[in-house]
Structure 1
Amino acid sequence: MEARYYLNQNVLNAELGNNPSYVWRGIVQGLAALKAGARRKIGNGEGTMVWDVPWLPDVENGFISTLEHDQRTNVKVSNLMVAGEKRWDAELLYDVFCSRDAELIRRIPIPMGDNADSWYWMLDDKGVFTVKSCYRWIQGECSNDYSDMWKKLWAIKLPEKVTNFLWRLCKGCLPTNVALLSRHVDIDARYETIWEIFARIFQRSTRDQSVEIAMEAQIKEKDRRNRDEVGERIWKPPAAGWLKINIDVALFLNGNIGVGDVIRDENSRFVAARGKKIAGAWKAREAEAIGLKEALSWVIDRGYKQCVIETDSYALAAACNGRPGEALFGTIVMDCIQLLKHINQVLVVFIYRSANSVVHRLAKAAYFMSDAGSGMSLHLSSLIMY
Structure 2
Amino acid sequence: MRRGGALRVLPLPAAQTQRGQHPSRWKRPRCGWIKMNTDAAKGAYRLAGLGMVSRDSNGDIMAAATRYPVVVLSPVIAEALDLQWSMELATQLGFRSVQFGTDNLELYHAWRKRNGVSYLFSIISDCYAFIPFFDHVELSFVRRNGNSAVTYMAKNASSFPEHVWVEEGPSGLSPFLDSDVLTSMPH
TM-score by length of 2: 0.76
Specify the SS of the correspondent of 2:145: helix
1:336 equivalenced with 2:123 (yes/no) = no
Aligned 8 A contact 1:245 1:264 in 2: yes
For 1:381 and 1:357, how far apart are their aligned partners in 2? 14
User: Are the aligned partners of 1:257 and 1:282 in contact in 2 as well (CA < 8 Å)?
Assistant: no
* Residues 312, 350 of structure 1: 8 Å contact kept: yes
Match of 1:296 among 65, 83, 87: 87
Aligned to 2:67: 276
- Which secondary structure does the structure 2 equivalent of 1:324 belong to? coil
Query: What is the count of residue pairs matched by the alignment?
Result: 155
Q: Does structure 1 retain, via aligned residues, the 8 Å contact 2:24–2:142?
A: yes
Structure-2 separation of matches of 1:264 and 1:335: 24
Runs of 4+ that moved beyond 3 A: none
> Within 1, Cα distance between the matches of 2:84 and 2:45?
22
Structure 1 residue 340: Cα displacement: 2.3
Rounded Cα–Cα distance in structure 1 between residues aligned with 2:68 and 2:31: 32
Distance 1:366 1:297 in 2: 18
SS of the aligned residue for 1:259 comes to: strand
Do 2:50 and 2:154's aligned partners in 1 also have CA atoms closer than 8 Å?
A: yes
Q: Based on CA coordinates, which of the two structures has the bigger radius of gyration?
A: 1
Distance 1:336 1:234, change over 3 A: same
Shift of 1:256: 1.7
C-alpha separation in 2, matches of 1:284 and 1:340: 24
Spell out the pairing of 1:166-181 with structure 2 (5 A cutoff): none
| Structure with the bigger percentage of strand | 2
Matched, 1:376 2:163: yes
Could you say which structure has the higher helix fraction?
1
- Residue 310, structure 1, aligned to residue 84, structure 2: no
- Secondary structure at 1:341's aligned position in 2? helix
Distance between the aligned counterparts of 2:69 and 2:135, measured in 1?
Answer: 28
Partners of 1:266 and 1:321 in 2: CA distance: 25
Tell me how far apart the structure 2 counterparts of residues 231 and 282 of structure 1 sit (CA, whole Å).
Answer: 27
In the alignment, what sits opposite 1:5? Answer: none
User: Does residue 1:327 correspond to 2:118, yes or no?
Assistant: yes
* Distance (Å, rounded) in 1 between the aligned partners of 2:170 and 2:128: 33
What's the CA shift for 1:254?
A: 3.3
- 1:336-375 equivalent positions in 2, closer than 5 A: 336-369=127-160, 374-375=161-162
Cα deviation, 1:334-373, whole Å, max 9, x if unaligned, reads: 111111232110111111001001101110101234xxxx
* Aligned equivalent of 1:246, options 37, 50, 72: 37
Aligned alpha-carbon RMSD (Å): 2.0
Partner in structure 2 of residue 54 of structure 1 = none
Q: Distance in 1 between matches of 2:103 and 2:150?
A: 11
TM-score (norm 1): 0.38
SS of equivalent to 2:45: coil
Q: For residues 307-359 of structure 1, give each alpha carbon's deviation from its aligned partner in whole angstroms, at most 9, with x where no partner exists.
A: 10000111212222223310111111111111123211011111100100110
What are the residue-to-residue correspondences of 1:36-47 with 2, within 5 Å?
none
Identity of paired residues, percent? 27
What residue ranges of structure 1 are gaps of 5+ in the alignment?
Answer: 1-156, 158-221, 223-229
Task: Map residues 1-386 of structure 1 onto 2, 5 A cutoff.
Answer: 232-369=23-160, 374-378=161-165, 379-380=168-169, 382=171, 383-384=173-174, 385=176, 386=179
Looking at structure 1, the residues matched to 27 and 76 of structure 2 have their Cα atoms a distance apart, in angstroms, of 25
Distance between the aligned counterparts of 1:381 and 1:329, measured in 2? 31
